[in-house]
Every structure is written in structure tokens, then in C-alpha cells.
Structure 1
Amino acid sequence: MNAIDLPTVLLVDDEVRSQEAMRRTLEEDFRILTAGDAEQARALLEQYPVAVILCDQRMPGQTGVAFLKEVRARWPDTVRIVISGYTDSEDIITGINEAGIYQYILKPWVPDHLLDTVRQAAESRSLQGALHRMEIDLRAGTGVLRQRATEQLARAKDTFDFGRIECSPGSPVEEVCRMAAKVARYDLSVLVHGESGTGKELLARAIHYASGRAAGPFVVENCAAIPDTLIESELYGHKRGAFTGAYDDHIGLFQRADKGTIFLDEIGETSPAFQVKLLRVLQEGEVRPVGAPKPVAVDVRVIAATHRDLEADVRSGRFREDLYYRLANVTVTMPPLRERGGDVALIAQRLLDEVARSLGRGALRFTADALAVLQAYPWPGNIRELNNEVTRAVALSDPLAAPDGAGLIDAHAFSRKVLQGAGSEVSQTRPEGGLHLDIPQSGTLQERLDRIEAAVLRETMLRLRWNKTHAARELGLSRVGLRAKLQRFGLEPK
């Protein structure tokens, strides 16, 4: 080790021979500085980082304890040692209490003892410094982690706020969100009913982040995907070696969700065995991992979701009645998209913005014609189907240019299925892809025929991108006859 890398020891003694004796004892292990009095010592302390200071007690002008009391105030990290030929107990007590003396060394000192004492003092200072730095780093790190966690929680609360669930004034979803927001404040189990793709998980997340458990985990599990052979392991966890193939400890769903919320999707698809295991957790508030000697308490809020009529399943014996009432403290129903006509445009535009960002496209919006088609289509796959259709339209279309520079997605960008499905007031798609029109149930014969004719014309024109020549040929009309019918039904393109 180079001399510059050695710990520095300052020797303060008015006797030169004593200084030299201590220097010879310590110089192989330490970098040595010497001072004849307190004033010289102060000057050196101002210039160099001193690890250990050895000071004679009896010096002209100022005693060693008095000087080291000043050192303690100005250079508290320096380890202070007094060398004295006197055993005055009052000096020792004063030194320990006021000057923070590390150790007294009595004259005549023994070289090996002096060297060991200074080594221990230097090591003590080094350890204290390391602990201090670790404490600072830990505090800083803890603060950073706490700040990050706070920021992440704030973002999650904003992302999954009830206000982010798109709905227009008067939408049935407004009442659903109002009810769910009230329930969120209380630690009740919630059963969310609705068709696939209606946003049941989004509502469950909004409930979680509006509750007192928002800082806890939100664990999602598709119950239909858990085989009966793994039910206990998935719900409760297992210990290493509990069964063949259990090579490591596994934390179960309920332990992962402790102090938070667990969202059990497709709860209506579970087997009787699953229902029994789940009921035990909800009743006892604890789980016993497979192979564990004792149970573990868990504090979890349960939100379950299903597209099935669980009350009917209870009556038929397919679903346990006691589990149903454990899960359904409160039941809310997410309406299908076909019952949210006023919400389709809002949801579609939000999805369009998200897809455009993910695909690296600029700002996009739908034309009025495109929105009319989206609102007319019944969306049997609900929001998932709408998202797929919007993604397809963005990926495959060449948007028109709007005056403000945004791209316009026209109805021509939609799939044939959607164009055909939107072609009548109540429409479905045949397995072979053909258009099926339900006969209107009101109006005179001519009025009903007119409505069917208008629907066929609209679907054909949209599908053929308003190419009148092709449409006239397909419908067996002349261009003049087609134009007359379009004018009659007000179907000229906007």
C-alpha cells in the first residue's frame, strides 16, 4: 500500500524524543504527521483528513483533553487518544464525557500495545464511516423506493379511476360506476356479472384503486384455467418437497394478494373441488400451503366475475349456495356494448388513440360514416371485438387527410363482417359470411320493404367504397337507377 493510501495519524507532543519514538512504532502502518502544540495541530487538521490523533495530556498552553474537546466539535470523525503519565480520575472522566476519548495510554507506553491500540482505533473509524455511508445510502434508497411507489400508485389510481371508464351521459354504465364507487369504500366481496369483453376486470381494478387497499397488490386469476390437480397449490401455495416436482417453495394466490385484492375471473366455470377449497379460504381467513406445518393468515378482498347466471346455477346445484353468498355481498352488472350505443363512439376513439400510438401512427379519428357503422353494429364480442376491428382498420387502411392534419379512418376500412352487420337495424352474420336481415316488425308493407332496401343499399355501397358502377352491376341496376335510389333514401356519401 502506498503511503498516501495509509490512514493518517497525528502525533501531538511537545517532546521531540517522544514524537520520534511514536513515529518509529507507527510509521510502517500509518502516514504520520507531528505537531508540538495545539496550534500546530489545528493547522494540520485543517489541511489533512486525520484518522487518529494521539495527544499528550500535559502540554504548554492547553491540556490534551481540552484540545481534544475542540477536536470532537470540529472534526468528530477523528478518533481521539490521550497519552498521559498521570492517573487523575477527574481528567479521565472529563475526557470520556466531554472530549469523547477513545482510550487513555499511560506512560511509559509499550510499543506493541501502542501499535495495537492505534490499529484498532483506525479500524473503528473505518467501520463507523462505512456504517454511516450505508445508512445514508439506505435512507436515500428507501426514500427513492418510497417515492417511486407513491408515484406508481398515483399513476395506477389515475389510470384505473372510475372516470376513465368511457360512458356518455345517460349510459347504463354511469349507474354501474356510481354503485361500484360506493361499494369500493367498504371491505365487501363483489360479484361482477357481464358478457365476455364488457370490461369486468377494468371495473374490478377501479374498485381496488378506489379502496383502502389501493397500495396493496391486485392479483388476477382465470379460475377456469386451473386444473383440479393444482387447486391447492395455486390457491394456498406449497413448500419445497411437498410432492413430486415441488423443487422450490411456491407462494399461492391468496398470499400474493395479502393486504390487497384478488380478482377471480370466470368463477362460474369452476369445478366442485375448486369451490370447496375456495370456500375454506373465505371462511377461515387463512391458508395452509401444501407441506407446511401450520396455516398462514391472509387478509384479502375478493372480487369475482362471471358471464353465467350464478343464481340459476345455485338452483340447479351446479354452484355452491354458501360460496355464492360469500362472493356476492354486492352484485354489479356490466352491460354489453349493444346496450351502450352512446358509448361506442367514445370507446372507439380511445381505442383508436391507443392503437395509433402503439403502431407509431399520427393522430387519427373516424369519419361520421365510420362512426355510424360502428354504432349500428351489435358487437357480439363487445369491447374486445371493437378493439380488434379498430386495430385492423389502422393497420390496413390509408387514412384520408383532414384539414387539421389528422388522419381520417373511413367506413371502408372496416371488415366485411362489420359492414354487413351494420347494414340493418337488427343484423347478424351467417356462418358463411352472408348478410341476414330481420324483417322489421312495424309499419306498412311498403315502409318495411323500404327499410330493408335502404339497409341493403347502404351495406353494398360501404363495402364497395361507394363505387356506383360496381354497386349497380352487383344489384342489377343502371347507374341512373342506383343514383335515384340513393337520393331517395338519403344515402349519398358525406
Structure 2
Amino acid sequence: MNLSDSLPSILVVDDEVHSQAAMRRTLDEDFTVFTASDADEARALLERQAVSVILCDQRMPGLTGVAFLKEVRERWPDTVRIVISGYTDTEDIIAGINDAGIYQYILKPWVPDHLLQTVRTAAEAQTLQRSMNQLDLELRTSTPVLRQRVAHKLAQARSVFDFERIERGSNSPLNAVCSMAERVARYDLSVLVLGESGSGKELIARAIHYASPRGGGPFVVENCAAIPDTLLESELFGHKRGSFTGAYEDRPGLFQRANGGTVFLDEIGETSPAFQVRVLRVLQEGEVRPVGAARPVPVNVRVIAATHRDLEQRVHEGLFRKDLYYRLAGVSITVPPLRERAGDIAPIARRLVRDVGAELGRPGATLNDEALACLMGYPWPGNIRELRNEIARAVALSDGDEIQAQTFSLRVLHGQAGLAASGQAADQALSLPSSGTLSERLDAIETMVLRETLLRHRWNKTHAARELGLSRVGLRGKMVRFGLEG
């Protein structure tokens, strides 16, 4: 299978080999990653390979990152462009945001989770933009019958984010969360979504948007932690042509792009006082003033904010403005972490296997019972994002369509074994027996010990046999006897 046929392609342009390697490690589970050391090498690759997103270092031999991305904008305009810099040359980059059409600016040292999420969002934005451009063209040039068909396609796209489509168990704590969010969606109130990173806050925010009267309008996402203060005004409010060096045309800001729809401000708890003041002013006045504009521009948006921080505590510590907190928290919704939603793991895992399997060209991929029990026994500190990455790894490493426990990473196998040994998974296969004859209970305990040891050693029979004081033949005999031989 050629993974480049199913995964979005990313080009990393950086003259430092260790930086290339670090970004490849961060991105290669979700993307096909190409690398280049300078503009010439990158240009040659782009001539023969389409890519979704370019990550380009600002300081390189020859052309700077901004200068190269300006050329990319002219020759490959559909590519999403991101510049990375560890220097204070923000003036050149600010000018290049419009000139080179830069989607995002990332400061060094970058954080792997933030980099991965930024690139994911960029790739999704490119896919959605292409789809919307095509649909818009069809709407403007088609007959009434075709326009009706296209409108139906848009309705189907919105239904993807329906509350009923959010995977969860029958008695999930998310039922109450979704019920409350659905009731709130119909009213034009600000919403603050709280919860750990990767727990599904953006999914809830999108569902609120599409269930609201604004559902036909844009849904614009901004990762607040990723915006340097030097870029705030242009990013949030836009700018007018000629307002600064490199501003060759008008550029709408975040709130203007979301006019009539919803702005989702992710990681609002990480923002600086300058950011908080500017957002508060927009919420209070309902208007923005683009950089270089003579008068403010009215905007009509709904704001949904999210954070993994305790904002009340940050208000108490003087790190977050109290007036902005009360503006944002018209309604607060807390998404529980995955470890508190054990009943959700199975349906989410099965859905992810289907989705990831389709992406990787393995549409028949399934989880066997032991693999599912292993997933349900791990606490998932990284929540759904970590679960998705683990399943993507397992699908890629599995020899057949059936995913087995030994394809999971060591931390998941250890986590599952630890929970079972401590009695926290009493309703799973590794729990201690509470009934039966002495012989039956001893067999059950022996089965539990064998399975726990095999899981911990990732089904390496030699290592497991050595730990248990058995020969490989003896271990294999016991595995056959207790039905553990796959």
C-alpha cells in the first residue's frame, strides 16, 4: 500500500537536519512527510509532488521562508503555507502574512502537540476550502435542480457534526453534555467549553454551531496560544492595503471572516493580556477596526471559547480578565476526560478503526475482543487524540484486518495490565474470579497471569516464558489450554 495515496502530504523546508527529523517524528503518523533543505530542493519537489501544507523555516541559506512562500503562493496557490521562526524578525513575517498568504506563524521552540494540531487544522482547512469553492461554483452556475442538489450536499455536510453523531455509550456522561449543548445552541449566547486537551471540545463547539440558526454561516477556528502578540491586530481584525510594509491588498481578519457565523477561540486560557483586551472590545462593541482603516467595521458573530485551564483560578491569580471571563462564560459546558467515560471507549475505538482504516486503505480493519479490552483498560491521559494515534499505529502494523493487542504500544499494554492487576477492571477479562470450584478459580487466575504477562511483553513468548519460569513449549501448551493462542 502506498500511504501517500491516502494521507495528506506535508513538505518541511528547513536547512537543519535535526529540525526536519523532529517534525517528521511529530507528523508522520497523520501525514506523508517530505523534506527539503532549501528553496531550490523544495521547488524541485513541488514540481513533481502535490502537497497540502508547507512548513517553512524563516532563516535559510538563500531565500528566506517568507520570500519562498511568496513564490509558492504564485505557483501553487492551493497549498497552505506556514512559517516557523525562532528569531525576532517578526516585522518581515507580518509583512509576509499578506504578501505570501501565510496561514500561520509558529514560534520556536515549537511544541509537538501544537504543531501537529496546527498542521491538522491547516490540512482540513484546505480540504474544506476546495470543497466549498467547488460547491459555490456549482451554486452560481447551475440550474435550479442542480442548486437544490448542491444545497442537499451542504445539508449532509452539516449533519456530520450533529450531536447524535458524536460517538458515545448508551449511559455516557456525554449524554447530559450534548443535551445541554443542544439546548444552548438555539440561543445566541457565548459558550465556554472546558475540558482536557484532546477530549473533544472542538467537536462539541462545531455541533453547537451547526445546530444553531448560524449553522449556514462560517465556522472559523483560531488557536489562541499560537498567535504572537505582534500579529494580533492583523490576525483578529485584518488590515487595509498600504497600512504597513507588505500590505498590498485588503485582508479581512478573523472576526470578519466569521461574520454571520461562529468564531471558535481554542485555548483561550493561554492568551496574553493584550489578546484579552482586544477580544473583550469586540464582544462589547460588536465591531472591529482593521489596521489602517479610518472607521470600524461591524461584525455579527457568536463566540465559542475553549480551554483546558481552570479559568476561575486564573482570574483569581490575576492571569485572566474577570470581565472577559464573564463575557465568554454565558454558558459553561465541561467535557469529561476519556478515563471518566469508560463506556465510550468501545464505540469511539470502533469508529476510529473504521475511519483510520479507510484513510490507510484498510477498510476491513476490526478490533478483536482482547485488543478492545486492552484499550478499555488504559487511562488515556491524551484522551481521544491519543486513542486515535494508537489505533492508527495498530492499523498500520497489523498483518491482517483483525487488530490484535500486541500491535499496541508498550505504554498501553502496561497501562491495561496495571489496571487489571489493581482490580480497577473487575468487569473485564483480566479480573479475579469470584465464583466456581477451586480448580476453576485457579485456572482463571493462571489465565489472568498468563495474559497479563503476555500483554506486558507485547506477546513476545520468549520473554514471557523466561519471566514465568517456563519453556517456550510449556508456555505455548498453557496458551492453547486456556485459549490464549491467536
Which TM-score bucket, shorter chain as reference?
0.5 to 0.7
Change in CA separation of 1:455 and 1:229 when aligned onto 2, cut-off 3 Å? farther
1:48-447, aligned counterparts within 5 Å?
141=142, 143=144, 146-147=147-148, 150-399=151-400, 407-425=401-419
What amino acid is aligned across from residue 396 of structure 1 in structure 2? Answer: L
Q: What is the one-letter code of the residue matched to 2:403? A: I
Distance 1:173 1:188 in 2: 21
- Aligned counterparts of 2:310 and 2:251: Cα–Cα separation in 1: 34
* Contact kept? 2:287, 2:297, Cα under 8 Å: yes
The percent of aligned pairs where both chains have the same amino acid is: 66
Tell me the TM-score normalized by structure 1. Answer: 0.62
Verify the 8 A CA contact 1:439 1:452 in the aligned structure 2.
no
The answer on whether the counterparts of 2:454 and 2:464 sit within 8 Å (CA) in structure 1 is yes
Shift of 1:246: 1.8
Closer/same/farther in 2, CA of residues 317 and 466 from structure 1, 3 Å limit: closer
Q: Displacement, 1:457? A: 4.4
* Stretches of structure 1 lacking an aligned partner (at least 5 in a row): 1-136, 400-406, 427-436
Counterpart of 1:186 in 2: which secondary structure?
coil
**Which letter does structure 1 place at the counterpart of 2:388?**
N
Q: Secondary structure at the match of 2:418?
A: coil
CA displacement at 1:460 relative to structure 2 = 2.6
- Larger relative contact order (CA 8 Å, sep ≥ 6): 2
Q: Distance in 2 between matches of 1:453 and 1:332?
A: 46
Residue 127 of structure 2 aligns with which residue?
none
Q: Distance in 1 between matches of 2:339 and 2:449?
A: 21
Distance 1:314 1:493 in 2: 56
Task: Work out the CA distance in 2 between the residues paired with 1:274 and 1:140.
Answer: 42
CA distance in 2, matches of 1:471, 1:221: 48
> How far, CA to CA, are the matches of 2:290 and 2:183 in structure 1?
35
After TM superposition, give the deviation of residue 359 of structure 1 in Å.
1.3
* TM-score, normalised relative to structure 2: 0.63
Query: By how many angstroms is 1:362 displaced?
Result: 3.4
Q: Using the alignment, how far apart are the partners of 2:169 and 2:139 within structure 1?
A: 49
Tell me the SS of whatever aligns to 1:177.
helix
Query: Are the counterparts in 2 of residues 424 and 456 from structure 1 also a CA contact under 8 Å?
Result: no
Displacement after TM superposition at 1:213 (Å): 0.3
Contact 1:424–1:452 (Cα < 8 Å) also in 2: no
Distance in 2, matches of 1:357 and 1:473, equals 39
SS at structure 2 position matched to 1:424: helix
2 CA distance for matches of 1:453 and 1:321? 58
Give, in whole Å, the separation in 1 of the partners of 2:338 and 2:196. 9
RMSD: 3.2
Aligned-residue offset at 1:417 = 1.8
Q: Which letter maps to 2:406?
A: H
What do residues 328-370 of structure 1 show as CA deviations (whole Å, max 9, x unaligned)? 0001111111111111111111111111111112312111000
Residues 487 and 243 of structure 1, relative CA distance in 2, 3 Å threshold: same
Alpha-carbon distance change, 310 to 139 in structure 1, aligned in 2, over 3 angstroms: closer
1:475 equivalent to 2:475? Answer no
- Distance change in 2, residues 1:180/1:354 (3 Å): same
Contact 2:407 2:458 in 1 (8 A): no
Give the length in aligned residue pairs: 334
Does the 8 A contact of 2:224 with 2:266 survive in 1?
yes
Deviations 1:182-214 (A, max 9, x none): 000100000000111111111111000000001
Which amino acid in structure 1 is aligned with residue 417 of structure 2? Answer: G
- Is the CA contact 1:424–1:455 (under 8 Å) kept in the aligned structure 2? no
Amino acid paired to 1:231:
L
Answer yes or no: is the 8 Å Cα contact 1:466–1:493 preserved in 2: no
In the alignment, is the contact (CA less than 8 A) between 1:412 and 1:463 conserved in 2?
no
Query: In the TM superposition, what is the alpha-carbon distance from 1:145 to its structure 2 partner?
Result: 7.7
Q: Distance in 2 between matches of 1:291 and 1:183?
A: 37
Contact 1:219 1:261 in 2 (8 A): yes
Q: Which residue of 1 aligns with 2:13?
A: none
Q: Can you give the 5+ residue segments of structure 2 that lack an aligned partner in the other structure? A: 1-137, 427-431, 434-441
Looking at CA atoms only, which structure, 1 or 2, has the larger radius of gyration?
Answer: 1
Q: 1:239 to 1:421 in 2, by over 3 A?
A: same
Q: In terms of mean alpha carbon deviation, does 239-248 or 275-284 score higher?
A: 239-248
Q: Tell me the distance in 2 between the aligned counterparts of 1:354 and 1:476.
A: 42
Match of 1:460 in 2: 453
- Name the aligned partner's letter for residue 465 of structure 2: A
Secondary structure of the residue aligned to 1:221 is strand
Runs of 4 or more off by more than 2 Å in structure 1?
137-149, 437-440, 450-460, 462-470, 474-488, 490-494
Q: Secondary structure at the match of 2:183?
A: helix
Q: Deviations over 1:29-54 (max 9, x none)?
A: xxxxxxxxxxxxxxxxxxxxxxxxxx
Deviation sequence 1:130-175 (CA, Å, 0-9, x none):
xxxxxxx998647478436523431222100001110111110111
Amino acid corresponding to residue 178 of structure 1 in structure 2 = S
C-alpha deviations, 1:82-120, integer Å up to 9, x for none?
xxxxxxxxxxxxxxxxxxxxxxxxxxxxxxxxxxxxxxx
Question: In 1, distance between residues paired with 2:139 and 2:202?
Answer: 37
Residues 423 and 455 in structure 1, CA contact (< 8 A), matched pair in contact too:
no
How far the C-alpha of 1:492 sits from its partner, in A, is 4.0
- Pair 1:268–1:465, CA change in 2 (3 A): closer
Aligned to 2:97: none
